[in-house]
Every structure is written in C-alpha cells, then in structure tokens.
Amino acid sequence: MKVSRQQAGENRVRVLNLASRRFRERGFQGVSVADLMQEAGLTHGGFYKQFESKEDLIAQACALAISDNLEAYKQLAARNRRRAVKAIATELLSAIHRDDPAEGCVIAALGAEVSRADPATRHQVTNGINDILDLLAGLMPGRSEKEARQKAVAAYTTIIGAILLARAVDDPKMSDEILKTARTSVMAMAAVS
Amino acid sequence: MKVSRQQAGENRVRVLNLASRRFRERGFQGVSVADLMQEAGLTHGGFYKQFESKEDLIAQACALAISDNLEAYKQLAARNRRRAVKAIATELLSAIHRDDPAEGCVIAALGAEVSRADPATRHQVTNGINDILDLLAGLMPGRSEKEARQKAVAAYTTIIGAILLARAVDDPKMSDEILKTARTSVMAMAAVS
DNA sequence: AGTTTAAGATGATGGATATCATCTAAGGGA
DNA sequence: TCCCTTAGATGATATCCATCATCTTAAACT
C-alpha cells in the first residue's frame, strides 16, 4: 500500500532514530535490517525504498546520533551558564549514561566501529566531533583560544576513555572509581587556571 | 591426521595469537572461525577440539591480548626507569599505534564490544585493566598511593579516549592534534606536582 | 475521474557462518 | 608391536542476513 509523503517521511525518521539507538546499544553488526524495520512497525521490504544500503543507513544514523549529542550538550550548556563544561562532564560521566548507551555518546559506543566504517560514516562523525570540540572550547576558560581548544580536547578524550573503560569493566566499584576519577580530572581542567 | 601433543599445543597458541590480532583489527564479529583457522594453516573442523565455542575463543584471546599489553608496558617501564609513564604514553599515543590496532591497546580497539561480551570475557578484561592500572599507579609520582592511583586512572582514560578518537576521525590533522594534545596532558599528569 | 507513481508487503535468493557428525591416521601408552 | 586415543580434515546442516523482484494499493498529479 502507498502512504502519504508525510507519512513516508515520518516512517523514515522513525527508522533512523531507532537505528541510531540500536546501533549504540548493539553495534552495527548487532542490528539487522529486518529486525530494525519490524521494530519500527514496518517490514524489511520497504527498507531499500528509503535507504541505499545498510552502510547508507549507518552513515545517516551516525550523523543523526552525533548531531543529537551536540544538541544535548548545547542544551546543557544553556541551562548551566557558568558551569557548562562541568554540567556536560557530570552528565556524560554519570552511572546513568554509563548504563544506557542508546542515547548517549556516539564515540564511546561506536568509536572503534566507526574507524572501520564507510568513508561517508567516518566523515559525518568527524564533522560531529569537530563541532563538539568547538563547542567545548568555547565553554572552556583559557588565556587563548589555543589553550581553550587544548583543554577541550583533553577533557573530551578523558571523558570518552572513562566511559569506555567504565562500561567494559565488570566490577561496579572499579567502574564507579573510573567515572569519579575522570569527573575530578575534568573538573580540574575546566577550572580557571 | 593426528599430531604430536606439542604440535597441537603450538597450533592452539598460534590460533589464539592470530585471533587476538584479528579481533583488534576487525572486531569480534568481523572475524569468522573458518577464516581464522585457514589463516592459521588449519581447517575449520579442528576448531572445536581446541575451543568450546567462538565465545570461548574470544575470552581466551582477550585474556592473552591484555596480558600482552601489560607485559609490553612493563618492558617499556623497565627500559625507561625514570620516565616510565611518559614512555608508555608516547608509545600508546603515537601515530604508529593509532594506525595499527592489531597488537595495540585492547580497550581502545574492543572496549565497547567487550562491554557487550560474555561474562567470562568481561572478567578477564577487568582483571587485565586492574593490573595495568596498578602498574601505572606504581610508576606515577604522588604524595600518597591514593593520589598515584587517581593519576593513573586519569592518564589511562585520557590515553584510551585519545586513541579511540584519533582512529575514528578521517582528518589526519585533527587526528594528530588529538594525539598530541593527549600526550601533553598525560605528560603533565606524570610530572611531579 | 482517470492515470501515474511510489511506499510498503510478501516472498525469493545467494552468501556467509557457527556448529556438528563422521572419517583419517598418526601419536602415545601398554 | 599393538591398540586406543584424539587432532585435524571433510563435509553437512541450519540459521541468519543483505539485497532484489514482484505485487498491491492508495496518494499525487493531470
């Protein structure tokens, strides 16, 4: 059956949003096209009317996911004017975020897979990372732009490494220790020096 | 055909070493049992005489890989007595390591997949991470053991996040920037304070 | 209103993959 | 030397999955 242009567009967006969550939960290869479509309330056949291939879906889902990340950080920054970086770090380094990758940081969830992915996917992610680093640099105290950018990179790498480690480890105490230590470390970077 | 006990043992180790490299390059799901055995000069049939399942192979390969990581860091520390942490960070944050995950850091290459893996795999990796953090803490300057441990965790998270980011990004300049900034940041942590 | 168009459903297809069953021949203990 | 054990080879099986072909039907355009 055919469906209105609007309905079709909504369906496409629904699939894309769902994919961006499932990929972060299970990895690219852990999500099948058929399962995804079914969970979106559709059948597998229509998939190729909306996307060129699974790779294409991956690229679009990653672009969406990382732009959602950026948007969320902007919101956090807006709601915490003077302590923007601290607010973002607290959120990213929380147990809640560690335990629910679905809507969380794309790099911590998919970084290694992205580095093996399609050029298109890598490019979308690269742009997203650059935007995030720009945002963080703008929020960092620092004598110069250069210093702010360096602090932003240092903070972002620490955050991502900590999430990755905290998720990999099966010992809750160690996992909490990692998150807490990273929070302290990033707070120090965000403090006026 | 049967083969001597020693030969069988050597074959098993060969498969394990190969697996630990290929997994880091392509991810768990990117490596098939049959391909692996073939590359090791065997056929797929013998696999289940040596391993219970692919999951079992993954757990053993991860244990081997991370213990190899630990060993390499110990060697680096031994060869750079006074600047052990700096030597380790320089190695891990080099372009060479970024461009060749096969024998490199297990967490940067497989962290997200480990967090979704078998309990056995996660446990082996957790122990490895703990050993590595202990080693780093022992090499860190710090007034107290606690401070040294915190510095070790901060440095390790920064290193891992930087490798992950540097590999994901498709812009060589940005990738180099990330590595360089992380090196500077870790050097500061490793300096006597 | 009639014709065209395209989203989505249904149902292949071909390839890959983990695992199992069976066969073999040589090692290792008697 | 003989027998039993077992690593590895060969081949089968069952499942999963990405992608394609075809069909249906209602939207969109004339």
Contact between B98 and B169 under an 8 Å Cβ cutoff? The reply is: no
Q: Which residues touch strand C (CB under 7 A)?
A: A 1-3, 7-8, 11-12, 37, 42-46, 49-50; B 1-6, 31-35, 44-45, 47-48, 53-55
Contacts of A129-134 with CB under 8 Å at 24 or more apart are A129/A66, A129/B165, A129/B168, A129/B169, A129/B174, A130/B171, A130/B174, A131/A67, A131/A70, A132/A66, A132/A69, A132/A70, A132/A73, A132/A156
Nucleotide of closest approach to B47 (CA, C1'): D8
Contact between B112 and A112 under an 8 Å Cβ cutoff? The reply is: yes
The whole-model pTM stands at 0.97
Series of mean pLDDT values for 10-residue runs along chain B (193 residues): 89 98 98 98 96 98 98 98 96 98 98 98 98 98 93 98 98 98 97 79
Residues of B in contact with A130 (CB under 8 A): 171, 174
Q: What pLDDT sits at residue B109?
A: 98
Q: Count how many residues are written for chain A.
A: 193
User: Under an 8 A CB cutoff, do A110 and B108 touch?
Assistant: no
Q: What pLDDT sits at residue B182?
A: 98
For residue A146, give every residue at least 6 positions away whose Cβ sits within 8 Å of its Cβ, in sequence order, or none: none
Smallest Cα distance from B77 to chain A, Å: 22
The parts of chain A modelled with pLDDT lower than 50 are none
> At B125, phi and psi to the nearest 5?
-65, -40
Smallest Cα distance from B141 to chain A, Å: 16
The whole-angstrom separation of Cα B45 and Cα A18 is: 39
Q: Choose from A110, A134, A157, A160 for mutation: most chain B CBs within 10 A.
A: A157
